Amino acid sequence: MTRLPRVLQVYNEYRRYDGEDAVVRLEAEMLARHGHEVELLRASTTELDGAGILRLAAAGFGAVWSFRGYAAMKKAIARFSPDIVHVHNEFPLLSPSIFWACHRADVPVVQTMHNYRLACANAHLLRGDRPCEDCVGRFPWPALRHRCYGPSLPRTAAVAARNVVHRWLGTYRKHVDAFIVLTEFSKDLLVRAGLPEERVFVKPNFQIAALTAGPAALAEICLCGRHLPFQGPAFAHRSLEKNCARRPPTAHPRRRAGTRPARTALRGKFRHRLVRRAAAREGH
C-alpha cells in the first residue's frame, strides 16, 4: 500500500487562542483521520511576556532571521522526515529563515497566508479603523511613519525589515512552492505585494460537519469569535439590523460567543435589540 505523505506543520502561536489555532488543530486532525502522519513544530509568542529590552531587541532581529528557527526546522526535518512542510505562521520567533532550512533539506513547502502581514505591518490592512493599502507592493514608509504595529516604531521596523529583506532575498519566490489564501481578495492583494500568481491558491477555511438548512424563520443567529473591531462584529450587527428591520425585535435574537474586546461598545450601539452573550472560555 502506498504511504501517504508525512506533513510537518509549523506554527508560531499567538498570545491568545484564535482562529489560526483552530485551523491548525482541525487540519491536523483531518489529515490524521485520513491516514497521514502529522507533526507540529511550534513556538509561542508568550515567551516574550515580561521580556526586557535586550530580549525584545533580539526578538526584533530574530523576526527577520531567526537562527533558532532555522536550527529547529533542520532538527524537525531530520527527526520526522516529512514529505511536505505546511507553514501557518512563523512570526515572530521562527522567521522566514525556516524556508531556507527546508530548501537546504530539499523538502517542499506550502504556506497558508492567514493574514496580510506580508503586505501590511499590522497584518489587518487597517490604520485606525479605516482600510489602508498604502504599503502594498511598495517600501513600507507609511507603516514606519504611522507606527502601525504596536503602535511602536521598533516593532513596526522589525516587521518592515522582515518584509523588505526577504523580498530582496527572494525567499517567498524561491523557497515556498505554494501559497494558500482564504479568499480571492487575499489572492489579488498578496499577488500585488509580490507573490507569484501561479503559485497562489484559494482554499477557504473548513468545518468538520456540514451545516443543514434550518427553517425559513431563524430562531436565533449566532456570532462566534473574539469581538475585535477589525473582525467586523459591528458590521455584522448592522447587517442584521438592516435585514431584520421588518421583524419584531425578538424575531432574530443574536447570541454572541466571544471574548471581551469591543463587547461594551457593541452593547451600547445595539442595546435596543435583543442581544445575548453565550459563555466562552479561552482556548475553546
The pLDDT, as a whole number, for residue 127 is: 93
- Position 274 confidence tier, pLDDT thresholds 50, 70, 90: very low
- Return the bridge partners of 276, or none: 255
**Residue 88 exposure: Cα atoms within 13 Å on the Cβ side:** 25
Dist CA 198 CA 67 (whole Å): 31
Enter the pTM of the model. Answer: 0.81
Q: Is the pLDDT of residue 281 over 60?
A: no
Q: Stretch 21-31: mean pLDDT, rounded?
A: 95
Q: Is the pLDDT of residue 256 over 60?
A: no
Q: Which residue has the cell 499590522?
A: 122
For the cut 80, the answer to whether the pLDDT of residue 51 exceeds it is yes
Q: What residues have CB less than 8 Å from 69, skipping those under 6 apart?
A: 43, 62, 90, 93, 94, 95, 97, 98, 101
The position carrying cell 487597517 is 126
**7-202 CATH choice from 3.30.1490, 3.40.50, 2.60.120, 1.10.3470:** 3.40.50
Q: Are 154 and 161 in contact (CB under 8 A)?
A: no
Are 38 and 28 contacting, i.e. CB atoms less than 8 angstroms apart? yes
User: In the predicted model, is pLDDT for residue 206 greater than 70?
Assistant: yes
Split at pLDDT 50, 70, 90, the class of 208 is confident
Q: Where are the domains of the chain?
A: 7-202, 221-278
> Does the structure show a pLDDT above 90 at 33?
yes
The mean pLDDT value for 161-179 works out to: 97
Tens of pLDDT, residue by residue over 209-223, are 655 655 555 556 666
